[in-house]
Amino acid sequence: MDEKLFLADAMLGKLARWIRICGFDTCYADSTMSDTDILDKVEKSGRILITRDRELSMRSACSFLIRSDISDDQLLEFFRKYSPQPSKFFTRCTVCNGKLDPVKPPYDDLAVPESVAERGLEVYVCRNCHKIYWDGTHRKSIENKLRSLMEIIQNENH
């Protein structure tokens, strides 16, 4: 199965971060990009435009219009169309969309917080921006949120 590539417009920065957490390759078109630039990037890169802008959506053959302005509902809309795979969760950087590589202790020259190092947790480093992530309580709460949203979708389909 071909991996779907996405480009979220400036209205959907928070959604873009959540989609990245789910492992989807998602670029972000910030407010400095014009609609024409966004459409050009979508066409040249083969990405699917994710937008709340109805007019912009109609100008692209490859777009997905998000209707809600509530972040959890936006993620549900996305999940209804593009099923997340839990095995891909936490494989992309939420900041730059780069892939994450696992690093086990010792952490060598990484700026890992002392509390993480003391517990010997596995950390993940972004290949692009070198941001460091680790398995902490925040990750558990994110997983719980994603699984509960996936459960809503599953219940809708039964």
For 82-105, write each residue's pLDDT tens digit: 999 999 999 999 999 999 999 888
Residues 105 and 73 in one domain: no
Contact in structure between 65 and 54 (CB atoms under 8 Å)? yes
- Looking at residue 104, what is its pLDDT? 81
**Within 13 Å, how many C-alpha atoms sit on residue 112's CB side?**
25
Structural domain containing residue 118: 100-156
Would 94 be classed as within a structural domain? Answer: no
Residues 71 and 22 in one domain: yes
Q: Distance (Å, rounded) from C-alpha 96 to C-alpha 110?
A: 18
Last residue of some domain: 65, 88, 111? 88
- Looking at residue 64, what is its pLDDT? 97
Amino acid at 131: K
- Looking at residue 111, what is its pLDDT? 86
Would 114 be classed as within a structural domain? Answer: yes
C-alpha distances out from residue 54 to 29, 33, 38, Å? 16, 17, 14
Residues 84 and 32 in one domain: yes
Q: How large is the average pLDDT for residues 110-115?
A: 86
Last residue of some domain: 88, 119, 139? 88
Residues 13 and 71 in one domain: yes
Last residue of some domain: 35, 55, 88? 88
| Overall domain count for the chain | 2
- Looking at residue 3, what is its pLDDT? 86
Q: Rg of the chain's alpha carbons, rounded to an integer? A: 17
Q: How large is the average pLDDT for residues 37-47?
A: 95
Residues 74 and 105 in one domain: no
- Looking at residue 121, what is its pLDDT? 83
Indicate if the pLDDT at residue 1 is higher than 60: no
Contact in structure between 34 and 9 (CB atoms under 8 Å)? no
- List the alpha helices (DSSP H) in the chain: 13-21, 35-45, 54-58, 71-81, 114-119, 137-156
Q: How large is the average pLDDT for residues 61-90?
A: 95
- Looking at residue 100, what is its pLDDT? 97
